[in-house]
Amino acid sequence: MSPAVLTGLDRLVAGGFAPLQGQRVGLLAHPASVDARLRHAVPLLHDAPGVDLQRLFGPQHGLRGETQDNMIEWYGFRERATGLTVRSLYGKARKPTAEMLEGLDTLVVDLQDVGARYYTFIWTLLLCLEACAEQGLRVVVLDRPNPIGGVLREGNVLDMDYRSFVGLAPIPMRHGLTVGELALLFRSYFELDLALEVIWMEGWHRAMSFEETGLPWVLPSPNMPTCDTALVYPGFCLLEGTVLSEGRGTTRPFEIFGAPWIDPRALVRALEDWELPGCILRPLHYEPTFHKHAGELCGGAQVHVTDRESFRPVLTAAAVLVAVRELWPDEFDWRPPPYEYEVQKLPIDVLAGGLAFREAVEGGVSPHDLAATWEPELAVFAQRAAGFLHYE
């Protein structure tokens, strides 16, 4: 049975790789860079007649997804099956150097995003666009679905004074765009003199769930195992800026959260007062196998999304932080730097893209009142993004 959606990679293959004929090509990819038949982009481009695939690049977590945790650098190697050199864009360099791009005509980018500002693959995309503009290379972006949809947006828009590798452009925490649309927006916003082609999907629309696409889900990074993970991630990634476990070291990262000193039932009772839409928070205990509180019994909760259209991950995560801080003020704390190459600012401020989020939590502001403050800037962003929306 054919999928309802053809990705940019599927359409490139179906079209006989026409945009890459006669080109010396570099490919930026990761484990989820597969077609509908689960064939990876590396062998597809390597074996394509008329395409001279010369070099491979990988983002955070690596071309093969080999680094389990975040903030673990990896280094280049020679890919065994093709003999091609693989260059790391999450090690000594995050932006391709002139030497890395030397001899190429076109850089192909095929990255599955998850729809959240903190997910670093879109910033690797931006840095590649900048580098290719500087070196006069053409970029071809193979578009893929936003797995949490292209309708809803949530959270604040990044304050550029808090620019970092988890936010390099003024977009919201949940941005509602595809990688192809983001590429066009980035080119315009940063005024890049760049030959850019997006190979758009066929069959995707903005309200479509990932399951409706009929495409296989492949982990784009080790702690993004399911579409459910992606759905909660725009909110619960913020817990990386705290002493709370965000569920790394469990089988349900970001859906599960907690700490050794949390009483699960007391926490869930407090959260029920907020009447958070589209989800049920279930009290639980768990023991992370690695990362924060590894080997310790933690109390906390699991987020069960019951209605994707009404669920608001950032609102829900804000409520969790307000409640935990009020219930356990002596134990709760913000995580100190460094975080994603930022050594001065608090990680929560880097993730939240400014001070307002942390100040609201510290002030005990109702999460619903906090969410209301995002609406004016989301409206401005919607106007800015409107000219780059390709899909209905």
- Interval 139-195: pLDDT, tens: 999 999 999 999 999 999 999 999 999 999 999 999 999 999 999 999 999 999 999
The answer, yes or no, to whether residue 304 has pLDDT greater than 90, is: yes
Residue 235 CA to residue 97 CA, distance in Å, equals 33
Determine if the pTM surpasses 0.85.
yes
Residue 118 CA to residue 351 CA, distance in Å, equals 7
Beta strand 24-29 with 106-110 is: parallel
Q: What does the mean pLDDT of the chain come to?
A: 96
CB atoms within 10 A of CB 390: 16
Longest dimension (CA), the chain: 64
Q: Pick the closest to residue 9 from 184, 188, 198 (CA basis).
A: 198
Domains of the chain, each with CATH number or no CATH: 8-214 (3.40.50.12170), 227-377 (3.90.1150.140)
Q: Pick the closest to residue 208 from 353, 7, 381 (CA basis).
A: 7
Q: Pick the closest to residue 319 from 261, 226, 232 (CA basis).
A: 232
Percent of the chain past pLDDT 90, that is, above it, reads: 92
pLDDT of 70 reads 67
Q: What is the pLDDT of residues 316-361, one digit of tens each?
A: 999 999 999 999 999 999 999 999 889 999 999 999 999 999 999 9
pLDDT of 260 reads 98
The answer, yes or no, to whether residue 71 has pLDDT greater than 70, is: no
Terminal-to-terminal C-alpha distance of the chain? 24
The answer, yes or no, to whether residue 77 has pLDDT greater than 90, is: no
> 136: which 2 tokens?
């006069």
pLDDT of 199 reads 98
The answer, yes or no, to whether residue 79 has pLDDT greater than 90, is: no
Q: What is the pLDDT of residues 270-297, one digit of tens each?
A: 999 999 999 999 999 999 999 899 999 9
The answer, yes or no, to whether residue 92 has pLDDT greater than 90, is: no
Q: What is the pLDDT of residues 225-260, one digit of tens each?
A: 999 999 999 999 999 999 999 999 999 999 999 999
Return the half-sphere exposure (C-beta side, CA atoms, 13 A cut-off) of residue 338. Answer: 9
The answer, yes or no, to whether residue 68 has pLDDT greater than 70, is: no
Residue 40 CA to residue 216 CA, distance in Å, equals 12
